[in-house]
Structure 1
Protein backbone atom coordinates (compact mmCIF):
# COMPACT_ATOMS: atom_id res chain seq x y z
CA UNK A 1 0.00 0.00 0.00
CA UNK A 2 1.42 3.33 -1.06
CA UNK A 3 0.57 6.44 0.88
CA UNK A 4 0.85 9.99 -0.45
CA UNK A 5 1.43 12.94 1.86
CA UNK A 6 1.31 16.51 0.56
CA UNK A 7 3.04 19.65 1.85
CA UNK A 8 3.64 23.19 0.62
CA UNK A 9 7.19 24.53 0.90
CA UNK A 10 7.31 27.47 3.32
CA UNK A 11 9.73 30.41 3.24
CA UNK A 12 11.41 29.23 6.46
CA UNK A 13 12.52 26.03 4.69
CA UNK A 14 14.57 27.87 2.07
CA UNK A 15 18.35 28.14 2.46
CA UNK A 16 20.86 30.70 1.22
CA UNK A 17 20.83 29.11 -2.24
CA UNK A 18 17.14 29.94 -2.65
CA UNK A 19 15.85 26.37 -2.49
CA UNK A 20 14.80 23.83 0.16
CA UNK A 21 17.77 22.89 2.32
CA UNK A 22 18.78 19.24 1.88
CA UNK A 23 18.36 18.57 5.61
CA UNK A 24 14.73 19.68 5.41
CA UNK A 25 13.93 16.79 3.08
CA UNK A 26 14.75 14.39 5.93
CA UNK A 27 11.97 16.03 7.96
CA UNK A 28 9.56 15.77 5.04
CA UNK A 29 10.35 12.05 4.73
CA UNK A 30 9.84 11.55 8.48
CA UNK A 31 6.42 13.26 8.38
CA UNK A 32 5.43 11.01 5.49
CA UNK A 33 6.62 7.87 7.35
CA UNK A 34 4.50 8.87 10.34
CA UNK A 35 1.44 9.27 8.12
CA UNK A 36 2.19 5.96 6.39
CA UNK A 37 2.43 4.22 9.76
CA UNK A 38 -0.89 5.65 10.97
CA UNK A 39 -2.77 4.57 7.85
CA UNK A 40 -1.04 1.19 7.82
CA UNK A 41 -2.23 0.19 11.32
CA UNK A 42 1.29 0.62 12.71
CA UNK A 43 0.64 3.53 15.04
CA UNK A 44 2.51 4.19 18.30
CA UNK A 45 -0.31 2.83 20.46
CA UNK A 46 -0.28 -0.55 18.69
CA UNK A 47 3.50 -0.74 18.86
CA UNK A 48 3.38 -0.04 22.62
CA UNK A 49 0.93 -2.93 23.06
CA UNK A 50 3.48 -5.18 21.35
CA UNK A 51 6.28 -3.83 23.57
CA UNK A 52 8.26 -2.53 20.62
CA UNK A 53 9.26 0.62 18.82
CA UNK A 54 10.52 1.39 15.33
CA UNK A 55 13.85 3.12 14.83
CA UNK A 56 15.18 4.49 11.56
CA UNK A 57 18.72 3.11 11.18
CA UNK A 58 19.52 4.02 7.59
CA UNK A 59 18.39 6.52 4.99
CA UNK A 60 19.87 6.47 1.51
CA UNK A 61 18.75 9.67 -0.20
CA UNK A 62 19.30 10.96 -3.72
CA UNK A 63 18.57 14.59 -4.53
CA UNK A 64 17.34 14.88 -8.12
CA UNK A 65 16.05 18.44 -8.45
CA UNK A 66 15.59 21.52 -6.29
CA UNK A 67 12.33 22.47 -4.58
CA UNK A 68 11.35 26.12 -4.22
CA UNK A 69 9.17 28.20 -1.92
CA UNK A 70 5.51 27.61 -2.70
CA UNK A 71 6.10 24.27 -4.42
CA UNK A 72 3.49 21.64 -3.63
CA UNK A 73 5.33 18.44 -2.80
CA UNK A 74 3.82 14.98 -2.76
CA UNK A 75 5.72 12.36 -0.78
CA UNK A 76 5.00 8.79 -1.79
CA UNK A 77 5.84 6.11 0.79
CA UNK A 78 5.69 2.43 -0.08
CA UNK A 79 6.82 -0.77 1.63
CA UNK A 80 9.79 -2.17 -0.29
CA UNK A 81 10.99 -5.15 1.77
CA UNK A 82 10.24 -7.05 4.99
CA UNK A 83 13.07 -8.80 6.82
CA UNK A 84 13.48 -10.63 10.12
CA UNK A 85 13.89 -7.58 12.35
CA UNK A 86 13.53 -4.70 9.91
CA UNK A 87 11.67 -3.39 6.90
CA UNK A 88 12.52 -0.94 4.16
CA UNK A 89 10.39 1.87 2.80
CA UNK A 90 10.79 3.45 -0.61
CA UNK A 91 10.03 7.18 -0.52
CA UNK A 92 9.81 9.59 -3.44
CA UNK A 93 9.08 13.29 -3.44
CA UNK A 94 7.49 14.90 -6.50
CA UNK A 95 6.61 18.53 -7.15
CA UNK A 96 3.33 19.83 -8.58
CA UNK A 97 4.70 19.26 -12.12
CA UNK A 98 5.30 15.57 -11.30
CA UNK A 99 9.08 16.08 -11.42
CA UNK A 100 11.03 13.71 -9.15
CA UNK A 101 12.76 15.83 -6.50
CA UNK A 102 14.07 13.21 -4.06
CA UNK A 103 14.16 9.44 -3.83
CA UNK A 104 15.10 7.61 -0.66
CA UNK A 105 15.25 4.15 0.87
CA UNK A 106 14.66 4.05 4.62
CA UNK A 107 15.36 1.05 6.85
CA UNK A 108 13.39 0.76 10.08
CA UNK A 109 14.40 -1.73 12.79
CA UNK A 110 12.14 -3.17 15.47
CA UNK A 111 13.42 -2.45 18.99
CA UNK A 112 12.32 -4.30 22.13
CA UNK A 113 11.19 -1.56 24.55
CA UNK A 114 12.50 -3.39 27.64
CA UNK A 115 15.84 -4.65 26.34
CA UNK A 116 16.51 -1.58 24.15
CA UNK A 117 17.88 -3.78 21.40
CA UNK A 118 16.68 -5.05 18.05
CA UNK A 119 14.38 -8.03 17.96
CA UNK A 120 12.44 -10.09 15.45
CA UNK A 121 9.32 -8.47 14.04
CA UNK A 122 6.43 -9.72 16.22
CA UNK A 123 4.00 -11.99 14.38
CA UNK A 124 1.10 -9.52 14.64
CA UNK A 125 3.19 -6.79 13.00
CA UNK A 126 4.61 -9.20 10.42
CA UNK A 127 1.06 -10.11 9.34
CA UNK A 128 0.26 -6.42 8.80
CA UNK A 129 3.50 -5.78 6.89
CA UNK A 130 3.09 -8.87 4.70
CA UNK A 131 -0.50 -7.85 3.87
CA UNK A 132 0.71 -4.39 2.84
CA UNK A 133 3.56 -5.89 0.82
CA UNK A 134 1.24 -8.29 -1.01
CA UNK A 135 -1.05 -5.40 -1.99
CA UNK A 136 1.76 -3.75 -3.97
CA UNK A 137 3.04 -6.91 -5.68
Structure 2
Protein backbone atom coordinates (compact mmCIF):
# COMPACT_ATOMS: atom_id res chain seq x y z
CA UNK A 1 0.00 0.00 0.00
CA UNK A 2 1.32 3.42 -0.95
CA UNK A 3 1.88 6.00 1.73
CA UNK A 4 -0.34 9.12 1.57
CA UNK A 5 2.62 11.50 1.04
CA UNK A 6 3.76 9.34 -1.88
CA UNK A 7 0.31 9.51 -3.50
CA UNK A 8 0.25 13.32 -3.13
CA UNK A 9 3.74 13.63 -4.63
CA UNK A 10 2.71 11.50 -7.63
CA UNK A 11 -0.43 13.56 -8.15
CA UNK A 12 1.55 16.82 -8.09
CA UNK A 13 4.11 15.42 -10.53
CA UNK A 14 1.40 14.30 -12.95
CA UNK A 15 -0.31 17.70 -12.73
CA UNK A 16 3.00 19.50 -13.36
CA UNK A 17 3.64 17.21 -16.34
CA UNK A 18 0.22 17.93 -17.81
CA UNK A 19 0.76 21.66 -17.38
CA UNK A 20 4.15 21.40 -19.11
CA UNK A 21 2.48 19.63 -22.05
CA UNK A 22 -0.11 22.40 -22.34
CA UNK A 23 2.63 25.06 -22.27
CA UNK A 24 4.62 23.23 -24.92
CA UNK A 25 1.53 22.82 -27.12
CA UNK A 26 0.67 26.52 -26.84
CA UNK A 27 4.27 27.49 -27.65
CA UNK A 28 4.29 25.21 -30.70
CA UNK A 29 0.95 26.53 -31.96
CA UNK A 30 2.28 30.09 -31.62
CA UNK A 31 5.18 28.99 -33.86
CA UNK A 32 2.78 27.67 -36.50
CA UNK A 33 2.66 23.98 -35.60
CA UNK A 34 -0.52 21.94 -35.60
CA UNK A 35 -0.72 19.78 -32.48
CA UNK A 36 -1.97 16.33 -33.49
CA UNK A 37 -2.02 14.54 -30.15
CA UNK A 38 -0.97 14.22 -26.53
CA UNK A 39 0.47 11.19 -24.69
CA UNK A 40 0.33 8.84 -27.67
CA UNK A 41 1.39 5.26 -26.97
CA UNK A 42 2.91 3.24 -29.80
CA UNK A 43 5.83 0.96 -30.48
CA UNK A 44 6.76 0.53 -26.82
CA UNK A 45 7.00 4.24 -26.07
CA UNK A 46 4.86 7.24 -25.24
CA UNK A 47 5.10 10.49 -27.17
CA UNK A 48 4.22 13.51 -25.02
CA UNK A 49 3.20 15.67 -28.00
CA UNK A 50 2.90 15.06 -31.72
CA UNK A 51 3.01 18.20 -33.82
CA UNK A 52 3.25 19.01 -37.51
CA UNK A 53 4.47 22.03 -39.41
CA UNK A 54 4.76 21.72 -43.16
CA UNK A 55 6.53 18.46 -44.02
CA UNK A 56 7.95 18.07 -40.52
CA UNK A 57 6.39 15.76 -37.96
CA UNK A 58 7.82 16.54 -34.52
CA UNK A 59 7.84 14.02 -31.70
CA UNK A 60 8.02 16.33 -28.71
CA UNK A 61 9.20 15.21 -25.28
CA UNK A 62 8.87 17.57 -22.34
CA UNK A 63 11.15 17.46 -19.30
CA UNK A 64 11.18 19.42 -16.06
CA UNK A 65 14.61 19.65 -14.47
CA UNK A 66 16.74 22.14 -12.51
CA UNK A 67 18.12 23.63 -15.75
CA UNK A 68 17.39 23.38 -19.49
CA UNK A 69 20.76 21.67 -19.98
CA UNK A 70 19.92 19.07 -17.32
CA UNK A 71 16.63 18.38 -19.10
CA UNK A 72 18.49 17.86 -22.37
CA UNK A 73 21.01 15.54 -20.70
CA UNK A 74 18.21 13.52 -19.10
CA UNK A 75 16.93 12.42 -22.53
CA UNK A 76 19.24 9.43 -22.87
CA UNK A 77 20.00 7.61 -26.14
CA UNK A 78 17.81 4.60 -25.27
CA UNK A 79 14.82 6.88 -24.59
CA UNK A 80 15.48 8.77 -27.82
CA UNK A 81 15.49 5.47 -29.71
CA UNK A 82 12.19 4.39 -28.05
CA UNK A 83 10.56 7.70 -28.98
CA UNK A 84 11.68 7.45 -32.60
CA UNK A 85 10.44 3.83 -32.75
CA UNK A 86 7.08 4.99 -31.37
CA UNK A 87 6.99 7.77 -33.96
CA UNK A 88 7.71 5.35 -36.79
CA UNK A 89 4.91 3.09 -35.54
CA UNK A 90 2.47 6.01 -35.50
CA UNK A 91 3.47 7.04 -39.01
CA UNK A 92 2.98 3.48 -40.25
CA UNK A 93 -0.53 3.36 -38.72
CA UNK A 94 -1.73 6.75 -40.04
CA UNK A 95 -1.67 7.20 -43.78
CA UNK A 96 -1.94 10.98 -43.46
CA UNK A 97 1.45 11.09 -41.71
CA UNK A 98 3.34 8.98 -44.21
CA UNK A 99 5.93 10.80 -46.29
CA UNK A 100 6.62 13.43 -43.62
CA UNK A 101 10.08 14.08 -42.17
CA UNK A 102 10.29 12.78 -38.59
CA UNK A 103 12.08 14.84 -35.95
CA UNK A 104 12.61 14.46 -32.20
CA UNK A 105 12.33 17.68 -30.17
CA UNK A 106 12.55 18.46 -26.47
CA UNK A 107 10.85 21.17 -24.44
CA UNK A 108 12.89 21.87 -21.33
CA UNK A 109 11.21 23.44 -18.32
CA UNK A 110 13.27 24.69 -15.39
CA UNK A 111 12.55 27.00 -12.45
CA UNK A 112 13.62 30.57 -13.18
CA UNK A 113 14.07 29.93 -16.93
CA UNK A 114 11.86 30.43 -19.95
CA UNK A 115 10.87 27.13 -21.56
CA UNK A 116 13.45 26.11 -24.14
CA UNK A 117 12.68 24.25 -27.36
CA UNK A 118 15.52 22.01 -28.53
CA UNK A 119 14.75 21.04 -32.14
CA UNK A 120 16.13 18.21 -34.19
CA UNK A 121 17.72 15.94 -31.59
CA UNK A 122 17.11 13.22 -34.16
CA UNK A 123 16.03 13.96 -37.72
CA UNK A 124 14.85 11.38 -40.23
CA UNK A 125 13.56 12.50 -43.57
CA UNK A 126 11.20 10.30 -45.54
CA UNK A 127 14.12 8.84 -47.51
CA UNK A 128 15.82 7.45 -44.37
CA UNK A 129 12.78 5.92 -42.67
TM-score, length-normalised on structure 2? 0.34
Higher helix share: 2
Q: TM-score when scaled to structure 1? A: 0.32
